[in-house]
Amino acid sequence: MLLSELSYLEVEYYLQEKDTILIPTGSTEQHSPYGLLGTDFITAQAVAQEVGKRLDLVVAPTITYGMSQHHMSFAGTVTLSPKTYISLIKEISISFLEHGFKRIIFINGHGGNINPIKTAFDQIKYENYTGILQIISWYLLPEVQEIEKLLYADANGYHATPSEISITKYLNPKAFKTKPTVEKTVTKTKAYQPLSREEFKKIYPDGRVGSAPWLANEKDGKLILEEAVRATMEKVKEIMKLQII
Ligand code: NI
């Protein structure tokens, strides 16, 4: 169920039985000429909402902006500073903790968010709050990586992947009518991390990182999304079994 559609009384009622909330996190950033700027939050939201539906858990509104400074040389990208993003995650989590949620689970679709989310968790614990704080990045789950390997072998890459773009294509095929489908070469340039926006643009001029997004298709999207939902659900179930100290 979606938090945005509940009343505060319904949340109080939910909290008498359960203490878990799922929070989808992503970014608004370039995904090459082939993919949508919303790819990372659209995928995370789809996974979180389906898991919420199947496990009957509350899903918070999606955090659509993230840490995307390395994509800022591409139009349409929005980034929060690390400091702002850490505060955002911290204050959203604390709000839910204060109402009695004890298991705050971020369902994440963007690599750049992982470190600051974990730092926010450290800050919350430093402030002595009780509860379980977890992040599940759907695309890093072994079951998902397995299926990506089967479908795309080495061509999945690390950014603007055919996997994430397939999911968005499955969810919103109309948005792809204006996107290119032409094949290019896949370069496997190794780079240090993190990169500044200028460094990123120099090394990855069209925004792809070792990926072949033209391989994306709706059929794969449906398959990958289902696998991501199943694998995320297992992780969530494990977290729901943990004892609160
Ligand atoms: Ni992405």
pLDDT in tens, 156-193: 999 999 999 999 999 999 999 999 999 999 988 889 99
Classify residue 172: in a domain, yes or no. Answer: no
Which residue range is the domain that position 76 belongs to? Answer: 3-154+225-241
Cβ-contact 120, 90 below 8 angstroms: yes
Judge whether residue 124 has pLDDT over 90.
yes
104 C-alpha to ligand 1 centroid (Å): 23
Residues with CB under 5 A from ligand 1 (ion): 39-40, 164
d(CA 50, CA 94): 24
Tokens read off for 189: 């340039």
In CATH, what number is assigned to the domain containing residue 12? 3.40.50.10310
146 within domain boundaries: yes
Q: What is the pLDDT of residues 130-140, one digit of tens each?
A: 999 999 999 99
Return the SS3 of 103. strand
Q: Is residue 189 part of a domain?
A: no
Strands (DSSP E) contained in 148-199 are none
Query: E strands along 76-192, which residues?
Result: 103-108, 132-137
Percent of the chain clearing pLDDT 70 (strictly above): 100
Interval between CA 43 and ligand 1 midpoint (Å)? 9
For position 188, what pLDDT does the model report? 87
Number of domains in the chain: 1
Q: Is residue 207 part of a domain?
A: no
- Note whether residue 184 is domain-resident: no
Tell whether 116 is covered by a domain: yes
Calculate ∠ Cα 131-46-89, nearest 5°.
Answer: 35
Buried b (16+ CB within 10 A) or exposed e, 210-222: bbbbbbbbbebbe
Does any domain span residue 220? no
